[in-house]
């Protein structure tokens, strides 16, 4: 049986805390406790996959600490170090008009207003003021601020972004 669901990497297990199976988690989310919104996690590392259930979690001094069901001692927790935490894309909350998950933007083709393909979004970067699309393509690496001044249309159905951005910028 194949699993066609799209899982999105949302962080990783960076260490253990205490002796009762608590884990330290590095979350790749805007708010570190956002991962607690998802009770079921897929863990992956070196081709191994595990399904786990979050028992409880908390943020302590800006660090996410999580207790998983069935992970009850330091040894069991230590064995999970380095695993990537993945969430099924179908489980994400709906976005508001004009809002997008980074995971949905990565892989989209960026075309400028002259119809020239600038490349594909391979990552995003947070600058504090706004997010920046990181694009790679035939014309090299481009960094385009993800703001309405430069971004015209985001077509999620056709996986394209129209940008008011020249080749020489």
Residue 81, Cα to own-chain centre: how many angstroms?
19
Buried b / exposed e over 47-66, threshold 16 CB at 10 Å, is eeeeebebeebeeeeeebbb
Contacts of residue 114, defined as CB under 8 A and 6 or more positions apart, other chains included, come to none
Q: What does the pLDDT look like over 27-47, one tens digit per residue?
A: 988 788 999 999 999 999 999
- pTM equals 0.74
Report the alpha-carbon distance of residue 50 to residue 96 in Å, rounded. 32
Structural domains of the chain in order of their starting residue, each with its CATH number:
7-91 (2.40.30.60), 102-163 (2.30.30.240)
Q: Which of 50, 56, 60 is nearest to 84 (CA)?
A: 50
- Which residues does 151 contact at the CB level (< 8 Å), separation at least 6? 133, 144, 161, 162, 163, 164
Q: Which long-range CB contacts under 8 A does 139-148 form with residues at least 24 apart?
A: 139/167, 142/110, 142/118, 142/169, 144/110, 144/118, 146/105
Instruction: Provide the sign of the torsion angle of the four alpha carbons 130, 133, 134, 138, taken in this order.
Output: negative
Of 81, 92, 14, 16, whose CA–CA distance to 48 is shortest? 81
All residues at 6 or more sequence positions from 29 whose CB lies less than 8 Å from its CB, including other chains: 10, 11, 35
Position 44 scores a pLDDT of 97
Average pLDDT over residues 45-61: 95
> Using one digit for the tens of pLDDT, what is the confidence trace for 94-144?
888 888 888 899 999 999 999 999 999 998 988 888 899 999 999 999 999
pLDDT band at 2 (very low <50, low <70, confident <90, very high): very low
């Amino acid at each position: 049986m194949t699993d066609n669901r799209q899982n999105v990497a949302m962080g990783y297990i960076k260490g253990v805390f205490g002796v009762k199976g608590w884990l330290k988690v590095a979350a790749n989310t805007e708010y570190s406790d956002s991962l607690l919104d998802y009770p079921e996690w897929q863990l992956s590392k070196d081709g191994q996959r595990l399904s786990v259930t979050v028992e409880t979690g908390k943020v302590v001094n800006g660090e996410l600490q999580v207790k998983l069901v069935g992970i009850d001692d330091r040894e069991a927790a230590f064995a999970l170090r380095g695993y990537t935490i993945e969430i099924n894309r179908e489980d994400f909350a709906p976005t508001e008009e004009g809002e997008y998950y980074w995971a949905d933007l990565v892989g989209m083709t960026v075309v400028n207003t002259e119809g020239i393909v600038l490349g594909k979004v391979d990552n995003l970067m947070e600058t504090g003021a706004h997010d920046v699309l990181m694009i790679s393509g035939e014309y090299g690496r481009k960094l385009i601020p993800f703001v309405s001044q430069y971004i015209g249309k985001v077509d999620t159905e056709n996986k394209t972004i129209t940008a008011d951005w020249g080749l020489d910028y």
